Structure formats: C-alpha cells, structure tokens
Chain A
Amino acid sequence: MADLPGFQRYQLAFTARLRDPQNQPPLAGVPDERMAVYEEIVFNNLFESVSACFPVARKVIGKRKWLKLNQAFMRDYSASSPLFRKIPEQFLEFLHTAEPELQQQLPPYFTSLCHYEWIELFVASAETSNIKELQPAGDLGNGRPVFVPAMQLLDYEYAVHKISPRHKPRQQENTQLLVFRNADDHVKFIELNAVTYRLISLMQNNPVSGKQALTLLAKELQHPLPESIIGFGLSILEDLRSQGVIIGTHD
C-alpha cells in the first residue's frame, strides 16, 4: 500500500471505512456527517438489493441477524460483477465461502433456502435461444421430449418451499423441485416426486425418446412390469407438456 499514489491510498482508506464503519477509523479531515452519507447509501443499496431477493430467508432469521449478515457481506466479500442483478448471486457465493463461525450462527437449511429464493430471479433472467425444428404436438413416447430452455431441476435436503417464519424445518426432508419460465415469461415451481425427478434428469442428460427414458427408469427401479411404468410415465410427460415444462419433441 505504501507504494501506491496518494490518491489511491486515500481511496482505499475511504472504501475500508465504507465496508466496515464500526471498526475502521474515520478519515482525517472528513466531517462525520458527510462520510455518513456514503456509509448509508452504499450499505443501503446493497442491503436493499439483497433483501429484495430473499424475503423469506430474511424473515426466518429475524431483522437483527439479517442486518449483521449483510454487514458481514459488505465487510468481507469482494464483489466481482458490475451487474446489479448479480448481487444476490454473489450473496449466495458469500454464504458458501463464509467463515465457519458465521455459518454456525445460521440455521442448517439457510443456504438452501437462499438458493431456492435466488433461483427464481436466475430463471427469470436466464438467457435462452430459440429451439429449431420443434414439433410442439410431437409424440412424447417415440420422439425426444424437449424441455423449456429456462429451467432448473433442484434437489434440496430441506423442504425449502414450505419454509416460513412460522414453519422452520426441524429435520431434513429431501425435496425435488422444478423451476421454469413459461411461454408468458412467468416463473413457475413444481414439486416433483423422486421418480419424476429421475425421469427428467435422465432425459436432460441423454438424447433419448420418452419410451427409452422410461425403459431405463424401469430398469433402475427393477420394476417387474416395465410396461406399466411406460404407460404411467407417458401420462406424466403429457402432464409436463400441458404445464409448459415440455414444449414439444425432436425426431
């Protein structure tokens, strides 16, 4: 720091104070009242961006803890994205990399809950390109089902979608969800059972027809009557099409 030009040494003392007004010294020759303007606007900006994305997480841990957590985010995290939209994602990254001491003060489901709240924003603004040669009414059994491009398949250790200040999970509960942006640009969540979750991930990872995916699934389940799985599975796929998760097929 000593070899930096004077104006940069000043800038770093200035931002150090903004990051941690409680512990960093005030700047010599700068009136407190004026510095306070920056301390407030910089923190409030960040705090509002983060708070807007995590309304449930914020309420679940309470005002005081939420404030402290955001102060730690301001103090300890070096944001790398110039896009305001990415502030919540960087907050998640901060939670993942936070000191164990801080992690221990948070409920065990907290990071999952934050991820669940953030994913809505992520899917809402995910970049997608048009899919070519799509057959919207194609046969889901013989064709390859095509999923809506802005979609995430999620697997949590807690029932994150049921959490509220009045309903804080006491134990783990494996939860599979699908979140997607439909044709009207609305973000929708669907709770999946384990079998449907597996079926969708099989089709996402392999270029297979609906029937091939269901045959693979029946094998995995060691089901005595694969035909019944296929019949049942095709109705699941049709249901996903009616909800806009599957948007058609490819040959």
Chain B
Amino acid sequence: MAIISQIQGTGLGLKRELIPQIQSLHGQEQLANINFVEIAPENWISAGSKAARQLDWFVERYPVVCHGLCLSLGGPSPLNVGFLQQVKTFLHQYQIPVYTEHLSYCTDGFKGEQGYLYDLLPIPFTEEAVHYVAQRIRQTQDILGQRIGVENASFYVAAPISEMSEIDFINAVISEADCLLHLDINNIYVNSVNFGFDPHAFLRRIPGERIIYSHMAGHYRQTPNLLVDTHGENVIDPVWDLLEDAYRLFGAFPTLLERDNNIPPLETLMHEINKIADYQSKAGHRFTAFEHVPEQMAG
C-alpha cells in the first residue's frame, strides 16, 4: 500500500526466483537497502491465486512499482485499451502508485490483431513518430488517470529513416506527452556503444526534474561495438560512472537494480544495491519529480 512519494532510495526488480530468499530474509539488516520492488504487470495480472498471495505479501511490506513490457507505445496497432483497463484495475487493487513503460513497440497489427512480438523494438526517430507516441502516452495517462513514466530503451538497429537523435526524440516525446521519465542508465551506455555517441553528453540533456526513478543493470558484450541488454551480468564500471554523473547532475533519484537472467543469490545482488545506496548517500538531495507534479491527475 504505497503512495508515490514512498518510492525512494534503492530497489530491486522482483523475479520469481528471488521471492523465497526475500521472504526468508525479510527484516534483516542485509536487505535494508531494498526500499521498493518492481514488477511487470504482464507477469502478475491473472496469474492465479498463488501469485496473488505472493503479491499480497509484498505490497504489505514494500512500496511496489509497475514497469510494463507490452503496452507497445510506439506500435502500429491501436493501443490495447482493454489491457490498459486491466492494468488500471491491477494498480488500484494493489495500490501501486507508479506505472512506467518503454519508449518502444512490441506489436505490428498483423492480420488486424495486435500481433504481439513480445520484445522491445526500436521506434524510428521521426517527427511523425514523436506526435504519434506522445498522443498514445496521453491516451494512456487519460485512461489511467495518472502520469506514466517512459523508459529510454536499448536497441541495436538505427532506423535509416530517423530524422533526429535519440535524446532529441526522447525529449520531444516527453515534453509533448507531459509524462515522466524512467531513466535507464545501462540503456544509455548500451546505446552509446552500439551507435557511437558520448553517454555523458546524452545524460546532460536529460530532463532531470522528470525522472521518476532509474534502472541499473548489466549487459552482454557480443562484440566490442555491439552490446546486448540482457540484464544477465554484473553492472560494469562505465555504467557506475554514468550513475555517479547522473546523481551529480540531478541529485540522487530512486534507483532500482534489474537482474533478469543468470540470477545470482540475493546476497550477491545486495552488493550492487548497496553500492547504489553508497552513491546516493554521496550525492546531493534532490527535489523529486513527484514533489513538482500532482500525485494523481484528475480523471
């Protein structure tokens, strides 16, 4: 049962494999830096009574945030309003104050259906795409009656038809949609290697006041200039440097560790979470995005 201002400090992406460890170690000092947890609504909506009991356990003990995977904000099929209503009910049911999604698409409208492809695909950075995506974010916010955060996605292919840089695209969409930013530090780094730009210069152009929270994660180095965002490795030093730089620029914002593959024991993950907390304690205070914006929009 959380409100948005309780999303603070450091958090952990909740994977099913980790649940028994968290439950058995809950309350102990070694988990003190798990201040909030994140779930994908797609994995928990209509997931049966066992999952519902697990989720009850978590919402009673931790602020929970929802980070969606399949809304397809940039997809060519109509926004799946039925699904969004399910998300809305789910957020209400568990009193989850935050919902974020990716600046990407995962549907193609094949054969007149949604055509889910279940992965995060790159939107070409064009003027028309800015308006299209911003309108769909607005539609989402209208239906939910709250602002959402959109995450800068990782990607591997630059669309030859793009008319602007990624950071210009992100800024244009966020400003037109008047939404929040879910900043993924690792994705900035992954894209900077994949497309050869300076990640720190990218970071300086982020609208820091709109950051709702951020992600830290590891990636897989397929070749020296192709990184794949697997969330299956430890966070590497250049990504830590970026986080430090981001805190210096914007003050410490809530930050969550994502680990989706090759998951080590919780104890090992806590080293990285504790390191995030160290970085935060060294950084200055920040007026968080939700101190600037109303917690819930009308509607």
Contacts and interface: CB of A to CB of B under 8 A. Distances in A.
- A and B associate in one complex: yes
Interface string A74-93: 00001111111101000000
Contacts of B222: 37
B80 interface: yes
B49 interface: yes
A79 B109 CA distance: 9
Contacts of A221: none
Interface string A148-171: 001000000000000000000000
A125 interface: yes
A8 B156 CA distance: 18
A184 to B, nearest CB: 10
A35 B116 CA distance: 18
Contacts of A28: 160
Contact of A185 (B50, B124, B129): B50
Select the residue from A41, A46, A78 with max chain B CB neighbours within 10 A.
Answer: A78
Interface string B121-155: 10110101100100000000000000000000000
Most chain B CB atoms below 10 A, which of A27, A31, A33, A80: A80
A80 B114 contact: yes
A84 B42 contact: yes
Interface string B145-188: 00000000000110111000000000000000000000000000
B18 interface: no
Contact of A11 (B70, B105, B160): B105
B19 to A, nearest CB: 14
Interface residues of B, number: 46
Contacts of A4: 76
A126 B228 contact: no
Interface residues of A, number: 44
A17 to B, nearest CB: 10
Dominant secondary structure at the A interface: helix
A225 B129 CA distance: 76
B117 A42 contact: yes
A243 interface: no
A79 B105 CA distance: 14
Interface in B91-122: 105, 108-119, 121
A12 B75 CA distance: 10
B49 A82 contact: no
A84 to B, nearest CB: 6
A13 B249 CA distance: 40
Contacts of B119: 38, 41-42, 45
B43 interface: yes
A206 to B, nearest CB: 27
Contacts of B116: 79-82
B83 interface: yes
A100 interface: no
A11 B76 contact: yes
Contact of B43 (A7, A38, A85): A85
A38 B156 contact: yes
A46 B119 CA distance: 9
A133 interface: no
Nearest to B70: A82
Which 5 A-B residue pairs are closest in the complex by CB-CB distance?
A: A29-B160, A125-B48, A82-B70, A15-B108, A78-B113
Interface of A: 4-8, 10-12, 14-16, 18-19, 27-31, 33-35, 37-38, 41-42, 45-46, 49, 78-85, 87, 124-128, 150, 185
29 contacts: A6-B126, A7-B128, A8-B76, A8-B132, A11-B74, A14-B121, A15-B108, A15-B117, A19-B108, A28-B160, A29-B160, A30-B157, A30-B160, A33-B226, A34-B156, A37-B157, A37-B226, A38-B156, A41-B228, A46-B117, A78-B113, A78-B114, A79-B117, A80-B114, A81-B116, A84-B42, A87-B118, A126-B48, A185-B50
Interface of B: 42-43, 45-51, 69-72, 74-76, 80, 83, 105, 108-119, 121, 123-124, 126, 128-129, 132, 156-157, 159-161, 222, 226, 228
Given A4-B76, A10-B161, A37-B157, 16 more contacts: A5-B132, A6-B126, A11-B76, A11-B108, A12-B108, A15-B110, A19-B110, A34-B157, A37-B156, A38-B121, A46-B118, A79-B116, A82-B69, A85-B46, A125-B48, A127-B49
